Amino acid sequence: MLNLVLFFIVGTIMGSFYTVVGLRLPKHEDFVFDRSHCDHCNHPLHLFDMIPILSYLFYGGRCKYCHQKVDVLYPIMEFFTGVLFALAYFCFSGSYEIYELFIALGIISLLMIVVVSDITYLIIPDEILVFFTFYFLFLQFLHLGWQAVVVHVITGIFLFSIMYLIMVIGNKVFDKESLGGGDIKMMFLFGLVLDPILGMISIFLGSLIALPISLLLLIVKQEKVIPYGPFLMISLTFLYFTEITPSMIIHFLGF
């Protein structure tokens, strides 16, 4: 129980950082050395101003200095990152599962940054994709060696090609851009943690999750451009955490 709490606390801290990365990186702002500050008055924030979730609640969701409303995105991302970090520990806490735990934490980290960045700017920064490509490849190499790395790279290229083909078909059908470049590139990363069949299922599942939300946004807010990256990442997270296999899916469908 103590470890779950610790993972939740660490997750909230990392969730705050991932939100900053997702908001600053697309604007080419320094998120490493530049001191945290209020988005409205630019006043530097002190340690007690940045306690995940608690600072937001304590100050009533407003900046301590200018009293402008703080984006609710911060506590939401902090909370869900904490929950997912704790869930990752719960699912992959065995000593033999340390590799799976680090993969899960990487997936959560990528999920959070993509959610913030894609929802806010409709952009998935290449720098994030490159970083996590090396992160997943490094873990694959340490755990399974070069052969696994080669297999997963080939799988990544395959999934990238599938998504690129979907984009080409979509562009022809709708006579406009149907997918962002970040969504296509991100599928390469899916191949680094999933097998080819689950990778293709993740595309279908992401679309299935996105459909009702997209329809709702279209009807209520007349939104015609919907970020697809977060839904793909949610499907990847679901498939990895549930450890679903292709054979289980085939059995469920009755084949």
| Ramachandran bin of 113, using left for φ above 0, alpha for ψ from -120 to 50, beta for the remaining angles | alpha
The pLDDT, as a whole number, for residue 30 is 80
| H/E segment holding residue 72 | none
Query: pLDDT tens digits, residue range 83-135?
Result: 999 999 999 977 567 889 999 999 999 999 999 999 999 999 999 999 999 99
Query: pLDDT tens digits, residue range 164-217?
Result: 999 999 888 877 777 888 999 999 999 999 999 999 999 999 999 998 888 888
80 CB contacts (<8 Å, ≥6 apart)? 15, 112
Distance between CA atoms of residues 137 and 204, nearest Å: 25
152 CB contacts (<8 Å, ≥6 apart)? 136, 137, 140, 191, 192, 193
The pLDDT, as a whole number, for residue 215 is 86
Using a cut of 0.85, tell me whether the model's pTM lies above it: yes
The pLDDT, as a whole number, for residue 95 is 58
